[in-house]
Structure formats: C-alpha cells, structure tokens
Structure 1
Amino acid sequence: MSNFIFEQIETPHERSFKCSIFNKTKPNPNNFKWHYHPEIELVYIDKGSGIKGVGNHISNYYDGDLILVGSNLHHMPFTENFSDNKTEVVIQFKPDFLGNSLSFTPELNKIHQLFIKAKSGLSFSDTIKKEVGETILGLQYETYFQSFLTLISVLNKLANSEMIYLNNSNLEDINENNQLKRLFNFVKYNFKEEINLKQASEKVSMTIPAFCRYFKRNTGKTFIRYVNEYRVKHASKLLMQTDNDVKSICYESGFNNFSNFIKFFKKYNNLSPKKFREKMLQK
C-alpha cells in the first residue's frame, strides 16, 4: 500500500469506536487523498453529491450515500469538496471492537459476516439508508453506552439488508461458493475477450435461464452487468494511471464498440471518460 497514505485513527479512551460529524462549516481536518487504516469505516452522507472511491471502485453518488469500508481497504475522502452535502457521519472501529469471539456468538454472526464482506467495500440501498440515517445522525446526542448499543443495532440492520459489493474482484475471497469463484475467475482472466451467457453457463454446468437466476440471486446483478462493470472499472483505473487515449483504453478493457463503451461508462460513473479523467486528476 505504498501508494496510499496510512491514517492513524485515535479512538477516545472511553469509547470502543470513533464517531465524527463533518459539514461545510466543520470540514474534515484529516481529509487525506487515497488512504487506508486498520479500522472498519461506516460513512453516512445524508444528502448531496460527490465521488466515492473504494478499492478499485470509483463512481458518483447524487443523493447521499451509505458505505462500509473494510479494514485496510484504501479509499478516497467522500466529501473532499462538499457539493451541497449537508452532513457526513464517519464511524470508525477496530474489526474486533465487539470482542475476539464475534464469530462464535450466534447473535453476532451476521455482523461478523458483514465485516468479512466489507473487505470488498459495501454500498446500501436508499431504503436502508433512509431507515438508519436518522439513527446514525442521532449517535452524537446519545450517551457512550447507548450509542454503542445503537451502533450494534445499525450494523445488524445492515447485515440483514441488501448490499452492493463495490469491488467485484474481492468477491472470490468473500464467497466460499466454488461455482461463483469459477465464474469470477473466468471474468477476471477473460474480460478483454468476448464473453457470453453460453460460455458462462457452461462453466458451472447450468442451462442459461438457470444460470441467470443463480448469478442474480447470489450477486444482486445480472452476469452481463457484472462483466460490463468489471470492464468499466478496469478502464477507470487506466484513465487514472496511464496517459493512454480513451479509444485504446476502450478496446484494452474488453469493449469492441466505442459508442457502447461511452454509454456504459457514463451509466456507471455518470461522467464521460474524458470528464472522469479530468476530475480524478484534480483529486
């Protein structure tokens, strides 16, 4: 992680987690660029727009966001430049802040699984964001003990809700399903070539309809969407890390049609490749 800044998190001695509130009048004084820390980080932004960069994932948000960043997963500041964002709540805690026996406590097992999934970076739906948002904002007014219980309750709700993995490449480390691992590796090593449903379904010995249902049920997205997002993320990295022209990046990322590449890129990042590169260079 030599390319990223290590952030030292100082948790108050009387608490097991750190809760910080930021806004336009009180910006984050430690607004690093790409950085990482051992603590798991829960970020709630109640409204407004900005860019979220977690691991290899970079995208825009437009109506606030709710994100869980795993231990030592590099990420960008989510409100480096406040764009009508009202409030950002950042909660940081050690992976073992609930004790070393987390995986052996039945009532906390789902939270344990949530922390494992957070290694990939997680984003949550508008529904759960609205459900827990006011609760998260209210943590600042609670006693230490009550806020501790509230945080556990919030984490439990997140663990039982629909979530979006921000880094598909990490899913193979999270999910022990051998069929999914086979599919993830298939995409990882072949995304620059043509990939279709027939090829993918044959990898797991399923009919195409059964495969489509299986993949959507286990990942929350269609296989074609997964492949296109994987390609767009690769293109995003090349736009940030190289001076290659956009058209060559398009083909190097597995797209065989430039107009389709522009369409998918805009759909995923809400910016054209050119505007995306310009914005990232400003960071």
Structure 2
Amino acid sequence: MQIKDFLVDRSLKELTEHRTLVLPIACYETKINQNLNGYIPLHWHDELQFVLVVKGEAIFQINEDKLEVREGEGLFINSGCLHGAEDHNESGCVYICLNVAPHFMLSHELNTTFVNPYIEATNLPYLHLSAKGFWEINILEAIVKINQLIQQKPSFYEIDISIQLTLIWKNLIINGIKLEYEQTEMVKSHRIKQMLSWIHIHYAEKILLDDIAKAGQLSRSECCRYFKRILKKTPMNYVTDYRIQKSLILLQQTESSVTDVAYQVGFNSTSYFIDLFQKSMHMTPLAYKKYKKKNPSGG
C-alpha cells in the first residue's frame, strides 16, 4: 500500500490508522516522490516507526535533526516525534515503513519495564540503523520478514509477526543506550506542537508572528528560534508552506478557481499566491490544476 497523502490533524498528528484487520500495526512500501507534495511532510503519531530503505536514499528529519539514510539502512523513530522525509539526489527512494502501537511490541506484563521507559526517554527520538552491528541487522531483517508475512498471510502469520516484533524490540534495547529524561525537552516538544496546532486552525486567516508566539507561550524571538531549530524555517515561512500544501487539494476540485483557492488558504492576493506557489512547486497553480486533471492518480 502506498500512502500518497498524509492526513494530519491540527497539531500535525497523523490520522491514518496504522493497523491490519487484526493487529495494531501497518507495514507498507512508500515511494517518497509519489506523495501529494513530492515529499513526506512533517507529522507525528503515537505508533513506533521502523524504516528500511530498499531503493535509493532519503533525507529524514526527526524533530530538529536531519540525516541521510541509504539503501540497505534503516531507522527507528520513537512515539510522538515529528518526522518527515524527502528523496535524496532524485534516487527514486522506496522504503518499507512499519508502524506499531507501543503496547503491541511486547506482552502487557513486560511493557512497564521494557517498553515505556524507552518511549518516555527524551534522548531517544530516533536511532539510525546502519546495518553495521548485529543488532541493527537483526532489526532490518525482521522488518523484511514482517512485510512478507503481511503480504503473503500464511497460516498463523499473526503469531509470527508477534515473534518478529519481540525480536526487533529485544535487539533495539540491547544496543546499550543510556536513557535520559529531561523536562525541558518535553516542554519544547509540547510547545512546538501547540504552535503548529494554532497555525493549522487559523491558516486561512491573517496570521501575525505575535499570534504564533502566544500560542506557544513564547516571546517573538524564542518562537523564531524554535522554528529555525526544529523546522529549519521561520514561523511565517512555515505558514506559507502550509498554505501551499492545503492549496494542492483544493486545486484538484473542478469548481475551484485559482483565485478562490488563494483566498481559501489565507492569501489576500492572487498574484502573490501564484508567485509563491510557482517557487514552491515549480509550476503555476493553473498548470498544476491542469496536470492533476489529466493525471488524477499521478505522484
């Protein structure tokens, strides 16, 4: 299954339900440039995520860090962490994405001791699985096996998936990382989500920097530092990019004109919207509208 458009709520929490018919997991192959935006926009979810790049290479962002993940390598992304990805060097990157509800990693009796401390740790937003250590190789091989089990559905495959998940988690926690719990990191994560949530509610209105800062209970300067450190852009640039993202869906509606869309997503000038859209998407809104009409299922 290829998810081409990420449905998120106002705080960027992903709304896609990550589960098969029976199990609270989802496993699918994703080709990054087939997403609606041409990349995987920043989002977060409660599920733990495991990634294995099977073709090309990608730049993943997790919270404020960016790293390159090449073919054969993988990634663990912890619950609640902002993350996104873009294709690197036009490689046509494809990766297996495994999302698992934290409570399903191990039996209920073991969660308190062996799962919850790792989810709550503030120094473990992600782990780069470089396939150099035996524990990393074991995790990556288990991701492949789970993907095969879900596709082929042999007898008792649900039990086999549970076994592979236990293997993944055991190998992850034996790598020896010393867990830390910093209140300041927890507050920082909460504040950026508050500000993003406010933007996603009010993006169609006039937005000032003061409004965004107030939503995060920060000064203007601190607000800007948060966005530049975590999202690598200014608050107002983020607002513009989000408005462009929202316009992509509206432009695919036959009855919507470019001017209508511009005002619906918060621009008070059609020409300004066209200019910013072209810089972001490398085509005009009208060209994009015509392209999507001819290629409704295209990436």
TM-score after normalising by structure 1: 0.49
TM-score after normalising by structure 2: 0.47
